[in-house]
Structure 1
């Protein structure tokens, strides 16, 4: 019998290299990879049209999709995790701008609903006392979830986020990195800040997990379990994880990151209520370890 073919979007991460290269396979299905650069360009068609069977997905996008009843099922398989303090920039000239100085300033972000943005805003609000409502937010893209009402200022279509920062049209930007000498990190020592933050919270900020369509999960739970097992084999084969593990697998390994990003999303009115972590999974994926 011909194997089930699954249209799949996964980024080029080290722990999925063997899966994407076909070195690790399943007897149940074939993964037909669709490449997106950047990977986040696939999130909107996945949320709005269920354009793929399997798709890497930003955590905040999934939480918002869940809140609006999109037929997607989450797998506790992290594709991307990182400490966020190095993903905020300001200009290198002029007076020093500290995180606590952002109130009353114009801050750019690709989309208000990005997961990196939600993590950094949560850090600003909860660890640096910043009132997020007193920042003038400037965005460049629509949210992936169409039902979300975006009340931010939209940048002119001919403008780019980094150039607006360099030109003084923005005071800071979130979700960006740059080697341009005209720019510097908003946090004076991002690595040290991240280390302090991790000691305080004990959480790895997970950005991307994996979703499948509800149709696939209901019709072929064996395939969904096989997909998770395949991805887990890929991670194990990539070598021992660093400490802390930035791409945790399993519900319990992802519980603390999910609890915290849910809290940040509620604070920032990205989702209407506080989900319990177990609500994010179905009967099958809730048991994956």
Structure 2
């Protein structure tokens, strides 16, 4: 009997590339690889579930898991993308905003209320910066193009004001000061094109993000690897096989990042920078951990915020997100 053939859709990451090239093979599985930008993978899988295994939005995955109907996907605690998001707040200087507290009483745009990056930023605002989310006039619109819609049904809490602007873009509204600020994972065109007065709220965002991590222990997770539910239910063994392969691919990348003999990273002092950053985040530990327990300090508050903000229909426990085959570690 031959191996099971599965399609895998994931962005081009150094720590997953060995799965794509075949250097790492999941036991019992032959992978057909699709490498595309995340926006394409996430949208296609969210609408049609056309891949067997795919990279997906963490917030949208959790939102689907919280609904009454069974989710069409099963999660693995494999997190290919993590990004601190103080860098994701953009302002127009004409608004007079100088700090996070100044966002209270302002019009703030976002591409989707359920975008994972915006969930983390709103969590920071509400729980760290002391800005009530009900104090902001929220506007939802496409980032650079009009017409973007929410992918899931929201259950906004009382007092939240969220107005769709289907015929406008956040970039144009921010440049014209029709909105005072925008929260978005991808920088808007007006910022990239140096529109007058458009800048990040935190110019030295690295400093802010390091301080936030020291206070909270949160290293924001953006994306999660998921399996189509029907594929999982017919082949439950694949969860552990795929998880182990993702771990092996990641672990194979780490020595290359620390290689002083040749430049794996196209930058000076790459290995020193790699060890310096990871020593600050996870001294003596895995600098990019997969699994449930190592990521609890990030995921537990994230799940709380999802429900508080009306993205998740109910409060979720971390263990609910992943199948029993992956809730334990094999030790010899």
Q: CA deviation at 1:184?
A: 1.4
Which residue of 227, 237, 245 maps to 1:212? 227
CA-based RMSD of the aligned residues comes to 2.2
Residue-pair matches, total = 286
Q: For 2:95 and 2:58, locate their aligned partners in 1 and report how far apart those are by CA, in whole Å.
A: 36
Q: Shift of residue 82 of structure 1?
A: 1.4
Q: 1:127-186 CA distances to partner (integer Å, 9 max, x unpaired)? A: 1111112212111222333x33677322243x3322221111211111243444332111
What residue number does 2:265 align with? none
Q: Structure 2 length as normaliser, TM-score?
A: 0.79
Matches within 5 A, 1:120-139: 120-139=121-140
Give the Cα–Cα distance (whole angstroms) in 2 for the partners of residues 74 and 124 of structure 1: 28
TM-score by length of 1: 0.90
Report the Cα distance in structure 2 between the residues aligned to 1:86 and 1:156, rounded to whole angstroms: 25
Matched, 1:152 2:175: no
Whether the 8 Å contact between 1:71 and 1:214 is mirrored in structure 2 is yes
Name structure 1 gaps, 5 residues minimum: none
Higher Cα Rg: structure 1 or 2? 2
Q: Which residue of 2 aligns with 1:168?
A: 177
1:220 to partner: Cα distance: 1.5
8 Å CA contact 2:12–2:35 kept in 1: the answer is no
**Equivalent pair of 1:112/1:143 in contact (CA under 8 Å):** yes
- The Cα of 1:94 is off from its aligned counterpart by 6.1
1:5 is the counterpart of 2:5? yes
Q: Deviations over 1:16-49 (max 9, x none)?
A: 1221222222351122223433x13333443444
> Where do residues 1-289 of structure 1 align in structure 2 (5 Å cutoff)?
1-37=1-37, 39-68=38-67, 69-92=70-93, 95-140=96-141, 141-145=148-152, 147-148=153-154, 152-157=162-167, 159-175=168-184, 176-177=186-187, 178-181=191-194, 182=196, 183-239=198-254, 242-243=278-279, 244=281, 247-288=288-329
The C-alpha deviation readout for 1:58-106, integer Å capped at 9, x for no partner, is 2111110101231321111111111110111112456343211112211
In the alignment, is the contact (CA less than 8 A) between 1:47 and 1:65 conserved in 2? Answer: no
Which residues of structure 2 form unaligned runs of 5+?
A: 142-147, 256-273
In the alignment, the residues of structure 1 paired with residue 233 and residue 326 of structure 2 have an alpha-carbon distance, to the nearest angstrom, of 11
Structure 2 Cα separation of the partners of residues 71 and 121 of structure 1 = 27
Deviation, 1:288, is 4.9
3-state DSSP of counterpart to 1:221: coil
- Cα distance in 2 for partners of 1:251, 1:160 equals 37
CA distance in 1, matches of 2:192, 2:109: 18
